Amino acid sequence: MLRALFALLAAACLAACATVPEGPKRIALTFDDVPRNPGAFLSEDERTERLIDGLRQAGVGQAAFFVTTGNLAKTTGGAERIARYEAAGHVLGNHTFSHPHLSQVSAEAFLDDVDKAAEWLAPHASSRPWMRFPYLDEGREDRTKREAVRAGLAARGLSNGVVTVDASDWKYDDLAIAAKAAGEPMDMNALRDLWVESHVDAAEFYDDLARKSLGRSPAHILLMHETDLSALFVADLVAALRARGWEVITADEAFADPLAAMLPDVASAQGTITEMVAWERGFPAPRWYARNSETLATAEFDRRVLKKEGK
């Protein structure tokens, strides 16, 4: 009898998991760590110009740039470059002043850091009330700290600048910088294909997870960083997303989705809200895109971009 019961439960689970609701796929583009230091290929000015031009060519009218205001003192012309993003129709979010891990500082210190960034952002008409946690670290296992920061943000009129899709694009940028510094030849077409493919695959993975756990496809929010790779390949990414049936929407539209306001209660809060909601609702691991593994991303970069097969 128990065996029959387990069989019925397994069949029900498989049926539920196999039933993925249909519907449109929508995604907004966001970029973190603005203004970022030079990368492997472009100057800071060139990167800004290429990124603005790439978004314009792709018909993306509004992306969101999350500003780490402490970077302004570490980069050349950072405030002017941010102004160029605004003039092109894009919006700004708060990514703290010094980019701390919440799990490594007190709630009070973290909120002070948020306030410091908010002071710089306040005069900007394009600023939005979204605060994105650095490293997507919402306090990890410390629920008390997590709730204290959530309450502090709400008191300030700020909401969580959540992410629904993450392909760990920063890792490919780090690998490209290291390869350039080492004088290793890179296949730029392969780098483009790997970068674009990873983001599209991640979008498909997290949309499938959301449809299964939420019963619908939310307005997705893609995490990228203000890197040379974003500037070089963003138009290719948008074209690839559209080829897979995705509509690129504004950040304002995406953050109006009810998913962005959810406050999942999980054992350790770090990562996309997609995976946290799925975890809260009992979906087993893995709830994250495979190439978010640094080991796997590095192996793909070495094999495809550096041509290191068998070495």
**Sequence spans of domains, the chain:** 23-305
Q: Which two tokens stand for residue 73?
A: 């003192």
Which residues are 222's β-sheet partners?
A: 29, 165
Domain 23-305, architecture per CATH:
Alpha-Beta Barrel (3.20)
Element (H, E) at 32: strand 25-34
- pLDDT at position 3, please? 35
pTM for the model: 0.93
- pLDDT at position 23, please? 81
Instruction: Walk along the chain (311 residues) and give the pLDDT tens digit of each residue.
Output: 333 333 333 333 433 444 566 789 999 999 999 999 999 999 999 999 999 999 999 999 999 999 999 999 998 899 999 999 999 999 999 999 999 999 999 999 999 999 999 999 999 999 999 999 999 999 999 999 999 999 999 999 999 999 999 999 999 999 999 999 999 999 999 999 999 999 999 999 999 999 999 999 999 999 999 999 999 999 999 999 999 999 999 999 999 999 999 999 999 999 999 999 999 999 999 999 999 999 999 999 999 999 997 55
The residue whose two tokens read 């190439």 is: 291
Cβ-based neighbours of 144, under 8 Å, separated by 6 or more: none
What gap in Å lies between CA 222 and CA 228, rounded to an integer?
Answer: 17
Residue type, 143: R
What gap in Å lies between CA 254 and CA 157, rounded to an integer?
Answer: 18
